[in-house]
Amino acid sequence: MSFEEENQGSVILRRTPEYQPPASWRTWLIGRPLQTADAPHQTIGKAIGLAVFASDALSSTAYATQEILMILAAAGTVAFGYVFPISIAIVILLAIVTLSYEQTIHAYPGGGGAYIVARDNIGDLPAQIAGASLLTDYVLTVSVSISSGVAQIVSAYPALFDYRVSIAVSLVILIMLINLRGVKESGITFSIPTYFFVIVMYLTVAIGLFRALTGTLGTVTNPPDMSVIHSLQGVTAFLIMHAFSSGTTALTGVEAISNGITAFKEPRSRNAGLTLIWMSIILGSLFLGISYLTREIGAIPSEYETVISQLVRTVFRSQGALYLTVITATTVILAMAANTAFADFPRLSALLAADGFLPRQLTYRGSRLVFSRGIILLALIAIALIALFNASVTRLIPLYAIGVFSSFTLSQFGMAHRWWKIGHLTPGQEIKERGSTLRYEQGWRLKMLINGFGSICTLVVTFVFAITKFRDGAYIVLIITPIVVFMFSSIHRHYVNLAKRLSLENYGSPPRVARHRVILPISGVHRGSLSALQYARTLSDDITALHVVIDPDEALKIQQKWERWGDGVRLVLLDSPYRLLAEPLLEYIEEIASRRQPNEIITIVVPQFVPQSWVHNLLHTNTALWLRLALLFRRGVVVTDVPYEVE
Amino acid sequence: MSFEEENQGSVILRRTPEYQPPASWRTWLIGRPLQTADAPHQTIGKAIGLAVFASDALSSTAYATQEILMILAAAGTVAFGYVFPISIAIVILLAIVTLSYEQTIHAYPGGGGAYIVARDNIGDLPAQIAGASLLTDYVLTVSVSISSGVAQIVSAYPALFDYRVSIAVSLVILIMLINLRGVKESGITFSIPTYFFVIVMYLTVAIGLFRALTGTLGTVTNPPDMSVIHSLQGVTAFLIMHAFSSGTTALTGVEAISNGITAFKEPRSRNAGLTLIWMSIILGSLFLGISYLTREIGAIPSEYETVISQLVRTVFRSQGALYLTVITATTVILAMAANTAFADFPRLSALLAADGFLPRQLTYRGSRLVFSRGIILLALIAIALIALFNASVTRLIPLYAIGVFSSFTLSQFGMAHRWWKIGHLTPGQEIKERGSTLRYEQGWRLKMLINGFGSICTLVVTFVFAITKFRDGAYIVLIITPIVVFMFSSIHRHYVNLAKRLSLENYGSPPRVARHRVILPISGVHRGSLSALQYARTLSDDITALHVVIDPDEALKIQQKWERWGDGVRLVLLDSPYRLLAEPLLEYIEEIASRRQPNEIITIVVPQFVPQSWVHNLLHTNTALWLRLALLFRRGVVVTDVPYEVE
């Protein structure tokens, strides 16, 4: 045994340093297991921080403009003119949210996700709503980003159109495996594709603007099918709001930095805050640029070719190497956005599980020190969504963003409430609340106003979103969120009750076992059943051997053999006219168990045949196994398997 | 409890007469359970006997001619002229086999299937070969008959062509359910469709022959696609032999009566023998008639329309009611042929299982007193074959019949050998052999010659079949049969060895248990683990509590709690740097088990959480359950589950 012994009151057996767990197929798939002590903790600077946390937010530029156009298309191409004003409104919203989150980052240097902020400042229910919204949204981040990534691939290689669901599912599985293996969040792996995307996208926008100004941009040649354009309805306020809602998906991912503050180098909050501002500036400018150019070239929203693809090939006037480079960079950043959700979802689930709102198993770190169960769970749900919605970004979008905006609202409302509390402290006074310490601060009124305004803005957007996109699919989220919250509280109640009932507070001592009663089911009289009888004898003198009579001739033989070998133990033959095996046994055991005395314990001693290999199991009825599964959850009955060995 | 007590040395608990097992979904599907005492035993006369046993044999007229044509098609339509001479040869073979089986029926009034005759007269290996061949063939009877039945349906309703696999699978499942419910072999249910088929088929042939003689028959209008016709090769001896092999499928099912002699009224053998002769006469005449007319009308073998369908619509000059009647009758008799296999396969498997060549479970009679496991097994294999061969009779045929002919050969060789032994007894002498008593008989030489000749003929056919159809698929059977035989003998060896090792012959008494050692794995210190500790105390004073350390803080708490509540029992903390749970436990247990003293027993007492409902299981790691499954088959280690109750 590769253990070293240590004595400290209890015996502690430590693994010897050279110990390695046995290799399995898992090792091959995701790498050799890591020790708990191996858990890395590195911090990152602003430049890498931007790369790590920005992919989710920046990647939304790949689909936000297109989704605005998709809605406007209902009023014909003439409505496309509204895309730029709508984009400006969205960028203003972005600025408000950024300012608001800036304050959260400084107030929560230990990480201020919406769940934590809501839990610490408003209460359990809002925290659970925030948690449910965020989990839903992480799932959608994966589904939408991967679907959009596949749409880029399909734009470049239209022959792959029919395989888009398979490609998307394979991508999710690939990202799942990478995450099960564990990705170091720091490092160059993240920086290269993010900065590459930013550079090529700025380049595209810059060249596009230059051409637009010089009048050489032109419009899209061979636009994709125009079947989405209807011009059946006029441009209404509802339509504009509807299009605006679709565009707000550009803001998804902005909260990422506030979740991950601890990853930054000191001064953490300052670094994280500056990174957030830079991210918003890049996001806002790219989004505006893309929306403007899209309008100029007359791009058509389509399931067959993305607006980005139309833009890029118009700007570069070809579908050559430059085009493929930009499309590849876009696809990669979309995959990385999905990857971010693979870090966030398991982390939040583990947090919720540790608080008792989700199954405890989600806190367990797998062989690679990642929350493997959360990772697998996320992949499964995202795959189901992709399959269900046929990897269509347009069909997934109505479900997306509503969660983000409700968590924005709750988090900022929590912050506003926090400032209010801080403002009502006397200077110098300190109060400790759950996760953080509150101390009087100058200028709390302005800060409260900023967070309060942000909260109101995002609340309004949440409502606009829910109303305009209700029929498109937002209702699904409005149904699912309460269900998830209800599940959270049911789970929580279960754990709390269980802990109470198992608690040793005010517990005297367990009832002494006064008397054993043993039941010994036998299928025949042979060496195996006699070993079990021997074992039963060590427990008690009150033993009943039990045989279910299916074949009366067989029963007669058993009766005769038992007389000789049964050591005087009582044999009960249970008639079974319908040739049932387990049922009469269970019925008899139930009967005995229901009449048991206090302090009496009923133990079923089951002779268990040990086959040489699993194949041999097929040659035996395995009554013992079925019986034990049936009795496993029977209260007050102890089940003992006595293996009998056949060499 | 619905038991009545009786005391006869042992206690016997009999079911009260009004007892009914609880209803389940099975009751709904296949009817209420039947008592063992309800097993029916009725005998049947010749007329019904013919109906019961003939469907398999007679139904082969639905495809035998077509399969001859399929082969001849390789040499073009000119080769179709050989269909009638080949059919005559097959009918001669039928006469020989019938004569030969006639003798078996009189020699084995208790039922003389090939397996029994080979087992009693030649030996275990030939018996196993016969058994394997018959089982294979019963499976193919189902696949071929159902596929042919579906081909008839498709001929009448060509739109169903694409659904033929689904239709065939549904039919197999339907017949499986009917058999799980249990069919009374006697009775009108069988007689009506069989006699109806015989009548309408004779009618068709008679009208056809009349028209042929009067020159008004004509040829098939709109024959199906002729893509099977090649005329690439000439008519060779090999081709004729090949076609002959395909036609021999007409003989499948002839052995049915010899398996079922006990079902007949006394004088059993006489009644069964006469029935066999009648069956052969009907089979032979219908087959000749169909083959002759097929040639006359110039029918084309096809996957899209059966030859029977072409014949019937040509004879009746329409596809109206008469046509549909004959096609329906043909489909029904084909389904009934499959049904026969559902009686034969489970019965033979049970026989083989009782002899220890197949898993014992196959002898178990289900709630409706039928060998339900054999029925389900047959359905599953037949469905797999149908799916694999796309419900194509032509592709299945090369696998069929080779099994029938090898079992014919073995059975008749067994009979010949039996006559030889009888001939070498002195008159009046009697010897008992396995199943039957041998007594000197007059005329044994002739009888030996008849069976010997039959055996040689069928042996030759077996070889012809194996050679000509080798590449078409017969090789599959030639590979599978030895594998099945090998499986039989492995299973047999296992049972014999096991019985020897468990036997109480020369067995003193089991070793006394001198000392218990208890290991108590705990995940925490709470009321549940303390109950388990209480239980462990009743077993032994040598108890080790075991906790696997994944979270060191948690372990510290457990250590402290154990000091207070652990009753002085030793606690071992098992370090698990890779966060594995079951593995270190198992390793520790293995280590202790390997050092155990003789007469020492190691018992693992596992505290088992009893959830209020199965859903709650999802909220717990269920380590206890996984641990017990891992230890279930560990020799020398007893596993005890102590449930702890949480109301």
Distance CA A6, CA A20 (A): 20
Q: Tell me if A257 sits within 8 A of A279, measured CB to CB.
A: yes
Q: Which of chain A's residues have a Cβ under 8 Å away from the Cβ of B16?
A: none
Residue of A nearest to B647 (CA): A501
Top-confidence residue, B491 or A618 = B491
Residues 6+ apart with CB under 8 A from B339: B55, B175, B178, B179, B183
Give the count of beta carbons closer than 10 Å to the beta carbon of residue B534.
18
Distance CA A647, CA A491 (A): 48
CB contact under 8 A, A603 and B640: yes
Closest CB to A575 among B15, B511, B621: B15
User: A505 to chain B nearest CA, in Å?
Assistant: 10
Q: Which of B633, B634, B642, B645 to mutate to test the interface with A (most CBs of A within 10 A)?
A: B633
Q: Which of chain B's residues have a Cβ under 8 Å away from the Cβ of A11?
A: 570-573
- The radius of gyration computed from the CA coordinates of chain B, to the nearest angstrom, equals 32
Buried b (16+ CB within 10 A) or exposed e, B587-612: bbbeebbeeeeeebbbbbbbbbbbbe
Q: Which of A13, A496, A605 to mutate to test the interface with B (most CBs of B within 10 A)?
A: A13
Residue B147 has pLDDT above 90, yes or no: yes
Amino acid at A553: D
Which pLDDT score, from 0 to 100, does residue B126 have? 92
Residues 6+ apart with CB under 8 A from A410: A114, A117, A118, A122, A126, A127, A129, A130, A133
Residue B141 has pLDDT above 60, yes or no: yes
User: What ipTM, to 2 d.p.?
Assistant: 0.79
CB contact under 8 A, B534 and A526: no
- The DSSP code for A264 is B
Residue B574 has pLDDT above 70, yes or no: yes
Distance CA B586, CA A214 (A): 76
Strand boundaries in B396-555, DSSP class E = 430-433, 436-439, 515-521, 543-549
Provide mean pLDDT across the span B272-281. Answer: 93
Q: Tell me if A458 sits within 8 A of A97, measured CB to CB.
A: yes
A264 phi and psi angles, rounded to 5 deg:
-85, 155
Distance CA B359, CA A175 (A): 46
Q: Tell me if B532 sits within 8 A of B520, measured CB to CB.
A: yes
Q: Which of chain A's residues have a Cβ under 8 Å away from the Cβ of B645?
A: 635-636
Q: Which of chain B's residues have a Cβ under 8 Å away from the Cβ of A565?
A: 504
Closest CB to B21 among A534, A575, A578: A578
Model confidence over A227-249: pLDDT tens digits?
Answer: 667 667 778 888 899 999 999 99
Residue of A nearest to B628 (CA): A641
Interhelix angle B307-315/B268-297, rounded to 10 degrees, is: 70
Phi-psi region for residue B547, left (φ > 0), alpha (ψ -120 to 50) or beta? beta
Distance CA A438, CA A431 (A): 5
Residue of A nearest to B7 (CA): A572
User: B526 to chain A nearest CA, in Å?
Assistant: 5
Distance CA B87, CA B90 (A): 5
Calculate the CA B28 to chain-centre distance: 24
Residue B560 has pLDDT above 80, yes or no: yes
**E strand or H helix that includes residue A602:** strand A600-610
Percent of chain A with pLDDT over 70: 93
Residue A646 has pLDDT above 80, yes or no: no
Closest CB to B534 among A513, A524, A527: A513
Distance CA B298, CA B219 (A): 6
Which pLDDT score, from 0 to 100, does residue A1 have? 57
**E strand or H helix that includes residue A421:** helix A402-423
Q: Tell me if A331 sits within 8 A of A149, measured CB to CB.
A: yes
Q: Which of A14, A20, A36, A533 to mutate to test the interface with B (most CBs of B within 10 A)?
A: A36
Which pLDDT score, from 0 to 100, does residue A109 have? 83
Tell me the β-bridge partners of A14.
Answer: A4
Percent of chain B with pLDDT over 70: 93
Q: Which of chain A's residues have a Cβ under 8 Å away from the Cβ of B538?
A: 513, 516, 539, 601
Q: Which of chain A's residues have a Cβ under 8 Å away from the Cβ of B632?
A: 608, 625, 641, 643
Which pLDDT score, from 0 to 100, does residue A58 have? 92
Q: Tell me if B243 sits within 8 A of B90, measured CB to CB.
A: no
Model confidence at B312, pLDDT cuts 50, 70, 90, reads very high
| Closest among B246, B634, B561, B181 to A608, alpha carbons compared | B634
Vertex B490 angle, CA B486 and B491, to 5°: 120
Q: Which of chain A's residues have a Cβ under 8 Å away from the Cβ of B537?
A: 513
Q: Which of chain B's residues have a Cβ under 8 Å away from the Cβ of A22?
A: 583
Residue B186 tokens read as 């006697």
Tell me the β-bridge partners of A438.
Answer: A431
Model confidence over A406-417: pLDDT tens digits?
Answer: 999 999 999 999
Closest CB to B513 among A538, A571, A591: A538
| Closest among B319, B278, B337, B303 to B145, alpha carbons compared | B337
Model confidence over A17-33: pLDDT tens digits?
Answer: 777 777 777 777 777 77
| CA distances from residue A529 to A102, A359, A501, A581, B351 in whole angstroms, order as listed | 73, 41, 39, 17, 27
Q: Tell me if B389 sits within 8 A of B401, measured CB to CB.
A: no
| Closest among A274, A257, A271 to A45, alpha carbons compared | A271
Residue B580 has pLDDT above 60, yes or no: yes
Q: Tell me if A539 sits within 8 A of A603, measured CB to CB.
A: yes
Distance CA A587, CA A593 (A): 10
CB contact under 8 A, B577 and A19: yes
Q: Which of chain A's residues have a Cβ under 8 Å away from the Cβ of B34?
A: 578
Residue B186 has pLDDT above 60, yes or no: no
Top-confidence residue, B130 or B550 = B130
Q: Which of B503, B575, B618 to mutate to test the interface with A (most CBs of A within 10 A)?
A: B575
Model confidence over A58-81: pLDDT tens digits?
Answer: 999 999 999 999 899 888 888 888
Closest CB to A510 among B534, B603, B619: B534
Residue B185 tokens read as 């072999």
Model confidence over B76-88: pLDDT tens digits?
Answer: 888 888 999 999 9
Q: Which of B377, B502, B527, B580 to mutate to test the interface with A (most CBs of A within 10 A)?
A: B502
Q: Which of chain B's residues have a Cβ under 8 Å away from the Cβ of A608?
A: 632-633
Residues 6+ apart with CB under 8 A from A229: A73, A76, A77, A300
Residue B295 has pLDDT above 70, yes or no: yes
Closest CB to B621 among A34, A361, A509: A361
CB contact under 8 A, A575 and B494: no
CB contact under 8 A, B578 and A21: yes
Q: Which of chain B's residues have a Cβ under 8 Å away from the Cβ of A363?
A: none
Q: Which of chain B's residues have a Cβ under 8 Å away from the Cβ of A636?
A: 643, 645
Q: Which of chain A's residues have a Cβ under 8 Å away from the Cβ of B635?
A: 610, 643, 645
User: Is omega for the bond preceding B267 within 30 degrees of 0, making it cis?
Assistant: yes
Which pLDDT score, from 0 to 100, does residue A40 have? 66
Vertex B639 angle, CA B638 and B641, to 5°: 150
CB contact under 8 A, A527 and B513: no
Closest CB to A610 among B495, B603, B633: B633
Closest CB to B502 among A22, A365, A527: A527
User: A133 to chain B nearest CA, in Å?
Assistant: 22
Closest CB to B611 among A36, A588, A633: A633
- The DSSP code for B154 is H
| CA distances from residue B482 to B128, B140, B179, B477, B488 in whole angstroms, order as listed | 10, 17, 29, 9, 10
Residue A20 tokens read as 């390695």
Average pLDDT, chain B: 86
| CA distances from residue A198 to A55, A202, A358, B545 in whole angstroms, order as listed | 10, 6, 38, 59
User: A593 to chain B nearest CA, in Å?
Assistant: 12
A641 phi and psi angles, rounded to 5 deg:
-100, 125
Distance CA A408, CA A412 (A): 6
User: A84 to chain B nearest CA, in Å?
Assistant: 50
Provide mean pLDDT across the span B192-197. Answer: 91
> What is the DSSP secondary-structure string of A182-235?
---SSSHHHHHHHHHHHHHHHHHHHHHHHHHHHT-----SS----TT----S--
CB contact under 8 A, B571 and A504: no
Q: Are strands B436-439 and B430-433 parallel, antiparallel or unpaired?
A: antiparallel
Amino acid at A182: G
**E strand or H helix that includes residue A13:** strand A10-15
**Lowest-pLDDT range of A71-75, A618-622, B301-305, B497-501:** A618-622
Residue of B nearest to A10 (CA): B571
CB contact under 8 A, A588 and B1: yes
Residues 6+ apart with CB under 8 A from B217: B208, B211, B293, B296, B297, B314, B315
Distance CA B287, CA B285 (A): 5
Residue B253 has pLDDT above 90, yes or no: no
User: A397 to chain B nearest CA, in Å?
Assistant: 32
CB contact under 8 A, A10 and B559: yes
CB contact under 8 A, A360 and B620: yes
Closest CB to B587 among A1, A14, A35: A1
Residue B495 tokens read as 């049972």
B628 phi and psi angles, rounded to 5 deg:
-70, -35
Handedness of CA B509, B511, B515, B520 (dihedral sign): negative
